[in-house]
Amino acid sequence: MLRPLGKRVIIKRLEAEEKTASGIVLPSQAKEKPQMAEVVAVSKDVEELKVGDKVVFKKFVGTEIKVDNDEVLICEMTDILAVVE
Amino acid sequence: MLRPLGKRVIIKRLEAEEKTASGIVLPSQAKEKPQMAEVVAVSKDVEELKVGDKVVFKKFVGTEIKVDNDEVLICEMTDILAVVE
Amino acid sequence: MLRPLGKRVIIKRLEAEEKTASGIVLPSQAKEKPQMAEVVAVSKDVEELKVGDKVVFKKFVGTEIKVDNDEVLICEMTDILAVVE
Amino acid sequence: MLRPLGKRVIIKRLEAEEKTASGIVLPSQAKEKPQMAEVVAVSKDVEELKVGDKVVFKKFVGTEIKVDNDEVLICEMTDILAVVE
Amino acid sequence: MLRPLGKRVIIKRLEAEEKTASGIVLPSQAKEKPQMAEVVAVSKDVEELKVGDKVVFKKFVGTEIKVDNDEVLICEMTDILAVVE
Amino acid sequence: MLRPLGKRVIIKRLEAEEKTASGIVLPSQAKEKPQMAEVVAVSKDVEELKVGDKVVFKKFVGTEIKVDNDEVLICEMTDILAVVE
Amino acid sequence: MLRPLGKRVIIKRLEAEEKTASGIVLPSQAKEKPQMAEVVAVSKDVEELKVGDKVVFKKFVGTEIKVDNDEVLICEMTDILAVVE
């Protein structure tokens, strides 16, 4: 398992249908990757989020890596804009 | 519901008629989007504003997302210039 | 009424005759807008100025908005250079 | 032996097969060097990592040097994104 | 009277003959404006200087304004390099 | 003798054979100057290093001067990456 | 007399023969101005140096002025690299 260091989280992009269920839809710039994601790991230094949280994040941020065939994104907390409650 | 993280708020742009009622009108650069908005959500870290406040914000800031067909904007508090009292 | 947030003030540019009365005149680069103004609102975070103060401010700063047909400018305190006493 | 100074660690890139064993695979931009590494030395100022830890790090960071024929990389801690647990 | 705000002073450039009397002459790049000045006002936040002090300041800094036909310069304290004693 | 000021050290580049003895070799970009050096002086503000330490430092940093025919380099401590133990 | 303000000193470049006597010679880029100097004045905020100290300083820094026909340089302390002991 990957544990992020510093003020970072690891997130996994949500597919369109998952976003619709939460009532939140991103603008229809169709070619861009979605900006909603689920938190899959949090650093010990991060208190505001927990695994499973759904978040909106800034475009063009983070480092993409592949874990067991899943593409995930390691992001700075400052790149996470909001959480779905 | 979306809750912003860090020093952020979520705001929704006001239409022209709503701005007129408050006596505040933005300069008539007709093609620009309005710079007045209503606060729809505040982070736990924000004390200066509350939901329902009407604010003036900087141009070209924030991240636009769509929530239940409403276009809203997630902004840093430093991009909120003033509040209508 | 508009109340600025953060370390900000709202100011209204002074006309030429008002500036002459105070004995302070800006350099005659005729096409530039005047750099003297009267404070019309102050944030709760600003202690150095009060409404009615006449100030000199940096060029090309602030955000212009219109309140009841008056054009005013929302500025950072660091853009206010001096006050007339 | 080399001991890094400041908030730095020395890491050695992992080969493809080692990464597969940990279940973590980086995106297939084949010509880039791998972004997973094993920690081979830590500064006295670094508490979050220890020798032997496997980490993911940012691309294009650090200073490459050769120690006893091994190519290693001296990195700032802020360039280490996550650790495998 | 103008009172500067923040860590600022208002200064008035000295003419060539005044500088000679103090024994300090700036390099003979004849077309540049002189870099010596007399302090004419200090902010409440400035303790290192007082009105009447003669100072050397950095080129190309400050905001020029005209007070009762005198051209003065509002400068940051960090732009004042030295004082004549 | 030269004593560096601030968070600085003075170092002298090591020749190739000296580096081999320590088992540490820099990458074979033959035309670059070596990146290993011996500390010849330390500022009073530097505690992590002492005279005689062998260090690895960042490329293209520091100010070169000549002391009694020796070329040495005055560097910021942040440019010293690691020490040989 | 000139007294520097802030973390600054005033220095006077040393001639070649003076540098030789101290055993320190700068690299032979003949057209550059010398980088060794004698301290002629220190700010009250500077504790590390005193008048008469011989120092090595960074190239291309400071403000040149002329005092009683001597060309001197007002420098930030961070531009003074080392002192001769």
Task: Give the residue from G48, G72, G54 showing the smallest Cα distance to G62.
Answer: G72
Task: Match 């994040």 to its residue by tokens.
Answer: A57
How many helices and strands in chain E, by DSSP H and E?
Answer: 1, 8
Cβ atoms of E84 and G2 within 8 Å: the answer is yes
Tokens of A42: 């949090």
The tokens for A12 are 């996994």
Distances (CA, A) of A63 to A33, C38, D84: 14, 49, 16
| Cross-chain Cβ contact E83/G41 below 8 Å | no
Does any domain span residue F38? yes
C-alpha span between G74 and C23 (Å, rounded): 36
State whether residue A8 sits within 8 Å of chain D by CB: yes
Low-confidence ranges of chain B (pLDDT < 70): 16-22, 24-34
CA atoms A74, A79, A83, B1: torsion sign = negative
ipTM over 0.90: no
Q: Which domain holds residue E34?
A: 8-83
**Contact status, residue A78 vs residue B6, Cβ threshold 8 Å:** yes
- For residue A2, what are the β-bridge partners? D84
Query: Is residue G3 in a domain?
Result: no
What pLDDT, on a 0 to 100 scale, did the predictor assign at position E39?
A: 98
**Which of G27, G82, G83 has its CB closest to that of F64?**
G27
How remote is the C-alpha of G59 from its chain's centroid? 11
Residues D30 and D46: beta-carbon distance below 8 Å: no
The answer to whether residue E1 sits within a structural domain is no
The stretch F11-34 carries a mean pLDDT of 66
Nearest CA in chain D to A43: D82
pLDDT, averaged across chain E: 86
All residues of chain E having their beta carbon less than 8 Å from the beta carbon of residue G1 are 84-85
Residue F2 lies in a domain: no
Query: Which of D27, D48, D84 is closest, CB to CB, to A2?
Result: D84
Q: Domain holding G76: CATH number?
A: 2.30.33.40
For testing contact with chain C, the best of E1, E3, E5, E42 (most C CBs within 10 A): E5
CA distance D24 to G51: 62
Structure tokens at B10: 């979520």
Contact B24 C68 (CB under 8 A): yes
Task: Assess whether chains B and C touch, using the rule of 3 or more C-beta pairs within 8 angstroms.
Answer: yes
In a domain, C54, yes or no: yes
What is the model's pLDDT at position B19?
65
For chain D, what is the domain count?
Answer: 1
The answer, for F10 touching chain G at a CB cutoff of 8 Å, is yes
Q: Are A82 and B5 in contact (CB under 8 A)?
A: yes
pLDDT tens by residue, G8-25: 999 999 976 666 666 766
Query: F62: left (phi > 0), else alpha (psi -120 to 50), else beta?
Result: left
In 3-state terms, what secondary structure has residue B79? helix
B80 touching C (Cβ < 8 Å) = yes
> Which regions of chain C are under pLDDT 50?
28-32
- Contact: B63, A35; criterion CB under 8 Å: yes
Q: How far is the C-alpha of B44 from the C-alpha of E7, rounded, in Å?
A: 34
pLDDT, chain C, mean: 86
Which residues does chain E have with pLDDT short of 70?
A: 16-22, 24-34
Q: Do C4 and B81 touch (CB under 8 A)?
A: yes
Report the residue count for chain A: 85
Looking at residue C19, what is its pLDDT? 65
How much is the CA Rg of chain B, to the nearest whole Å? 12
Flag whether E60 is in a domain: yes
User: Is residue A1, in this structure, part of any structural domain at all?
Assistant: no
Q: Give the C-alpha separation, F82 to F62, whole Å.
A: 16
Per-residue pLDDT, F1: 86
Provide the b/e sequence for E37-54 (b: ≥16 CB within 10 Å): bbbbbbbeebebbeeebb
Residue G2 lies inside a defined structural domain of this protein: no
pLDDT, tens digit, 9 for 90 and up, residues C11-28: 999 976 666 666 766 554
Bridge-based pairing of strands E36-42 and E54-57 is: antiparallel
